[in-house]
């Protein structure tokens, strides 16, 4: 039982925290006031106007106020969203690790974790500049390389996110760059060398991800433009496609690259000859929950402001995940005779993938229709297509991300409406069938770049360090053969 002093302590700590937050809020409020009205909270002294005999001389132009457009609410939401998207990478590590055999748990988790180091540095050195500096239609320039302070002291110069600091926008986009290559390695679980995985990831970011991000989202990009209407000095693309949060840039690119990787590396030893069930679906379920939670920052944060569009995107995202969970479970129930936990969490991720390109362009309830499509299309990709062609996509990276990303990108051109996002475009159901063609062009270019780029990179990496661990190491498992550790000491 708590003593009186202990009870008082329970209230002292939260009270102190609340008081501290209030002080911070008051301080932030004062800082947000324009300099010219900082004294409005003081009593005014009335002074009678002096008689005027001549026009007053014009006042000298005031110097520009640094960060005058920065909004503290938008910035706070984007800081939170950045953290949410980063959380998705450890979530993916849990999700994938639970689905492999126990001898490969740490090796699988390491493939996600190490990219938070590797890709972050690559992004700061050159990746962000390649993606978001103005340049050619297929790749950006080098003005943002090494993050020069002169370019990051205020908001970005191209109007991507004018109400938040440039450094916040850069960091937010970094989290997308981190998780995208991590998705690929679910297809080659249990059999890729760690050094090959590192070299492939670095080259893939430079050759595939950065140019593709520029084409879709960067100023002057080949496929960018539908949301540039009315933006001063906007450079729209030749084929303006809609991708709110990464259906093409993240999911199609990683899913198609995953398929190429598993085809080039070949199947796991004894694939289809011995059972290879998930060793710990509890881990995978925790990972799926972290992914669902983080996806609110992934899609809701892509509004780049704390506003109604962020709320719409978040709502559509949740409804798509919820509906896809149900769709996958009921399809599996009818097909296999019982529902599974693995099916439920796979359905949730499929719904999140499919809604990603559409989240900020469709009405919230459209998330339900996209969720149904996600459950059906991705279930088919994971079960029917994979079985028919016989490839070993170990953790169904292509079946969920490749198939789901393609489905979502095309359906964005069907369900999009300018009533939700005036900076977007209407889709097929709202009188603009041409947008579907733009979406198909974006899908085709993404597939071509991801497939071709990945194949060439794999050949380079194979020549340099080799791609696949040897037979004995594969039997022993990645944990011991690549890292000298085991996940469970029992």
Residue 73 has pLDDT above 50, yes or no: yes
* Proportion of the chain above pLDDT 70, given as a percent: 83
Could you state, in order of their start, the residue ranges of all structural domains in the chain?
72-483
CB 184 within 8 A of CB 261: yes
The tokens for 479 are 């944990």
- pLDDT band, residue 490 (cuts 50/70/90): confident
CA 131 to chain centre: 14
What was the pLDDT predicted at 16? 40
Q: Is pLDDT at 51 greater than 60 in this prediction?
A: no
* Choice among 11-20, 62-71, 145-154, 200-209 with the minimum mean pLDDT: 11-20
* Rounded-to-integer distance, Cα 39 and Cα 428, Å: 54
CA neighbor of 292 nearest in space, from 371, 188, 364, 210: 371
Predicted confidence at residue 227, as pLDDT, reads 56
What are the structure tokens assigned to 360, written together? 């900020």
Note the pLDDT of residue 225.
67
Q: How many residues make up the chain in this entry?
A: 490
Q: What is residue 41's predicted lDDT score, i.e. its pLDDT?
A: 36
Calpha distance 190→187 (Å, rounded): 9
Structure tokens at 419: 């009533």
* Residue 100 pLDDT: 98
Q: How confident is the model at residue 10 (pLDDT cuts 50, 70, 90)?
A: very low
- Pull the structure tokens for residue 109: 């988790």
Q: What is the secondary structure of 135-193 as a DSSP string?
A: -SSSS--STTTT--HHHHSSS-TT-SSTTS-HHHHHHHHHHHHHHHHHHHTTTTTTTB-
Tokens at residue 77, please?
């939401």
Segment 27-32 shows an average pLDDT of 39
Residue 160, C-beta contacts closer than 8 angstroms, at least 6 positions apart: 132, 169, 217, 219, 304
Average the pLDDT over each of 58-67, 77-86, 131-140, 328-337 and give the range with the smallest value. 58-67
**CA pair distance 417, 366, nearest whole angstrom:** 11
| pLDDT over threshold 80, residue 15 | no
8 A C-beta contact, residue 211 and residue 133? no
> Which tens digit of pLDDT belongs to each residue from 235-262?
666 788 999 999 999 999 999 999 999 9
The residue ranking higher by pLDDT, 39 or 238, is 238
Separation between Cα atoms, residue 33 and residue 431, nearest integer Å: 45
pLDDT at 466: 98
Task: Check if CATH label 1.10.3430.10 holds for domain 72-483.
Answer: yes
413 contacts 438 by C-beta, under 8 angstroms: yes
* pTM of this prediction exceeds 0.95: no
* 52 pLDDT tier (thresholds 50, 70, 90): very low
Phi, psi of 334 (to 5 degrees): -70, -35
The rounded distance, in Å, linking the Cα atoms of 246 and 266 is 28
- Reported as a pLDDT band with limits 50, 70 and 90, residue 66 is very low
Q: How far apart are CA 343 and CA 351, in angstroms?
A: 12
State mean pLDDT over 70-87: 98
Q: Which carries the bigger pLDDT value, residue 134 or residue 29?
A: 134
Q: Quickly tell me which residue has 């402001």 as its tokens.
A: 305
- Condensed to tens digits (0 to 9), the pLDDT of residues 267-298 reads 999 999 999 999 999 999 999 999 999 999 99
Identify the weakest region by mean pLDDT among 40-44, 77-81, 182-186, 351-355. 40-44
Q: How far is CA 314 from CA 241, 269, 374, in A?
A: 21, 42, 17
pLDDT-derived band at 234 (thresholds 50, 70, 90) equals low
- Contacts with 259 (C-beta within 8 Å, 6 or more apart), sequence order: 187, 391, 393, 397, 398, 402, 451
Give dist(CA 209, CA 118) in Å, integer: 14
Percent of the chain with pLDDT over 90: 81
Helix (H, G, I), strand (E, B) or coil at 468: strand
- Cβ(236)–Cβ(225) below 8 Å: yes
For the segment 358-375, what is each residue's pLDDT rounded down to a tens digit? 999 999 999 999 999 999
Q: What's the pLDDT at 235?
A: 60
What's the pLDDT at 268? 98
pLDDT, one tens digit per residue, over 298-320 is: 999 999 999 999 999 999 999 99
Which pLDDT belongs to residue 239?
84
The mean predicted confidence, pLDDT, of the chain is 88
Instruction: Tell whether the model's pLDDT for residue 35 goes beyond 80.
Output: no
Contact 402, 348 (CB under 8 A): no
- Answer yes or no: is pLDDT of 98 > 60: yes
pLDDT in tens, 465-476: 999 999 999 999
Q: CA 128, 214, 312 angle in degrees (round to 5)? A: 95
Q: Backbone phi, then psi, for 379, in 5-degree steps?
A: -60, -40
Question: Which H helix or E strand runs over 333?
Answer: helix 308-336
Confidence tier at 199 by pLDDT (50, 70, 90): very high
The yes-or-no verdict on residue 33 having pLDDT over 50 is: no
């Amino acid at each position: 039982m708590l003593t009186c002093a202990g009870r008082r302590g329970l209230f002292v700590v939260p009270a102190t925290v609340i008081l501290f937050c209030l002080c911070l809020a008051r301080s932030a409020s004062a800082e947000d006031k324009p300099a010219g009205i900082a004294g409005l909270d003081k009593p005014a002294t009335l002074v009678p106007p002096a008689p005027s005999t001549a026009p007053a001389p014009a006042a000298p132009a005031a110097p520009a106020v640094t960060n005058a457009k920065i909004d503290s609410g938008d910035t706070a939401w984007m800081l939170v969203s950045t953290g949410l998207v980063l959380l998705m990478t450890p979530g993916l590590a849990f999700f994938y690790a639970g689905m492999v055999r126990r001898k490969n748990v740490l090796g699988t988790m390491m493939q996600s974790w190490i990219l938070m180091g590797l890709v972050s540095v690559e992004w700061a050195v050159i990746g962000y500049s390649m993606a978001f500096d103005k340049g050619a239609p297929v790749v950006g320039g080098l003005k943002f390389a090494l993050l020069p302070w002169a370019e990051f002291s205020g908001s970005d110069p191209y109007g991507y996110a004018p109400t938040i600091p440039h450094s916040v926008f850069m960091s937010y986009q970094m989290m997308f760059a981190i998780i995208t290559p991590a998705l690929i390695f679910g297809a080659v679980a249990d059999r890729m060398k760690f050094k090959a995985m590192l070299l492939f990831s670095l080259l893939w970011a430079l050759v595939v991800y950065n140019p593709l991000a520029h084409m879709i989202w960067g100023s002057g990009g080949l496929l960018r433009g539908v949301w540039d209407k009315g933006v001063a000095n906007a450079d729209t693309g030749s084929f303006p496609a809609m991708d709110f949060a990464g259906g093409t840039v993240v999911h199609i690119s990683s899913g198609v690259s995953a398929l190429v990787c598993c085809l080039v590396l070949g199947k796991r030893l004894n694939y289809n000859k011995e059972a290879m069930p998930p060793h710990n679906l509890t881990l995978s379920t925790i990972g799926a929950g972290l992914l669902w939670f983080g996806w609110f920052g992934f899609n809701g944060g892509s509004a780049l402001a704390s506003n109604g569009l962020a709320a719409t995107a978040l709502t559509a995202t949740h409804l798509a995940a919820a509906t896809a969970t149900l769709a996958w479970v009921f399809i599996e129930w009818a097909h296999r005779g019982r529902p599974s936990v693995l099916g439920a969490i796979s359905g949730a991720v499929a719904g999140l993938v499919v809604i990603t390109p559409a989240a900020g362009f469709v009405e919230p309830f459209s998330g339900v229709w996209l969720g149904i499509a996600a459950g059906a299309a991705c279930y088919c990709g994971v079960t029917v297509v994979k079985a028919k062609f016989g490839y070993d996509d170990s953790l169904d990276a292509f079946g969920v991300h490749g198939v789901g990303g393609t489905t979502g990108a095309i359906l964005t051109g069907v369900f999009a409406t300018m009533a939700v996002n005036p900076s977007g475009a209407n889709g097929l159901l709202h009188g603009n069938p041409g947008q579907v063609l733009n979406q198909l062009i974006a899908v085709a270019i993404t597939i071509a770049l991801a497939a071709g780029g990945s194949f060439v990179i794999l050949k380079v990496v194979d020549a340099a360090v080799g791609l696949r661990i040897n037979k004995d190491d594969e039997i022993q498992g990645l944990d011991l053969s690549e890292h000298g550790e085991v996940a469970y000491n029992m």
